[in-house]
Copies of this chain bind each other. A is one copy, B any other.
Amino acid sequence: MLQELFSPSVQHSLDIAGIFVFAISGALLAVRKNFDVFGSAVLAEVTALGGGVFRDLIIGAVPPAAFTDLGYFLTPLIAGALVFFLHPHVERLQTGVNIFDAAGLGLFCVAGTTKAYSYGLGLTASAALGVATAVGGGVVRDVVANEVPSLVRWDRDLYAVPAVVGATMVALCIRYEVLGTATGLLAVATALLLRLLAMRYHWRAPRAWNRRSAVVEAEE
């Protein structure tokens, strides 16, 4: 029941949409790093599916959904092909990509939390896995591309926080037994909105105290 926040076909469409936009971000990084077409496909796949595969391995849902649903596997390849042939247009559409990516973040943190809980994990662990589902693919993407993950860089707009808020909202809804389509959508919308605001106003997280010293600035 918990996993059925939305009807199965709606849920599946939302999953595919989230996978698609995450794959776009992977393929775009591949183009920027000058990878070949297979590198683009690889980066699109790991970005789109990495978070969910990690979650499924942790909760023991093997084989992971990414390997049982053909649509999950093929969608990143289509996204990779689109970027490969059209990438100047895709980059021009960066705003659109960002909005979809924010939507993917919201959807995945909510879906990840509910799936983890339905496999018997506690509320805190479920929320943590929801966040991991949402941000994990991006970390794998950056690790494979040999970059410092955007997730941990201080000079990037808040990315984890919206997912943490969304996943926490879902966990609280489960705790107080009010999780349903409306409250689930509210969590998705909150995470999405927070991410959009973070990008719009360049909200950033603080670095450690005393760290903004001359030495550090000079290093940069």
Taking Cβ atoms with an 8 Å cutoff, the residues of A that contact B are 30-31, 33-40, 42-43, 53, 57-60, 62-64, 67-68, 70, 73-74, 83-85, 87-88, 119-122, 124-125, 128-129, 139, 143-149, 151-154, 158, 160-161, 204-211, 216, 219-220
**B143 close to A84 (CB less than 8 A):** no
Contacts of A64 in B (CB 8 A): 58
**A87 close to B209 (CB less than 8 A):** yes
CB distance from A131 to the nearest CB of B (A): 10
**B35 close to A154 (CB less than 8 A):** yes
Given contacts A151-B38, A153-B36, A205-B38, whether A57 and B62 have CB atoms under 8 Å apart is yes
**Given A68-B122, A145-B148, 5 other A-B residues pairs in contact with their CB atoms under 8 A:** A36-B154, A38-B161, A39-B151, A42-B151, A58-B63
Q: How many copies does the complex hold?
A: 3
Contacts of A122 in B (CB 8 A): 67-68, 70
**In the bound complex, CA of A60 to CA of B210 (Å):** 44
Residue of A63, A64, A219 most packed against chain B (CB within 10 A):
A63
**A59 close to B63 (CB less than 8 A):** yes
Residue of A35, A88, A119 most packed against chain B (CB within 10 A):
A35
Given contacts A154-B36, A208-B37, whether A160 and B62 have CB atoms under 8 Å apart is no
- Give 14 pairs: A residue, B residue, CB < 8 Å, sorted on A: A30-B208, A34-B216, A34-B219, A36-B205, A37-B208, A38-B151, A58-B64, A59-B63, A63-B119, A70-B125, A73-B125, A84-B208, A87-B211, A88-B210
**B58 close to A60 (CB less than 8 A):** no
Contacts of A63 in B (CB 8 A): 58-60, 119-121, 125
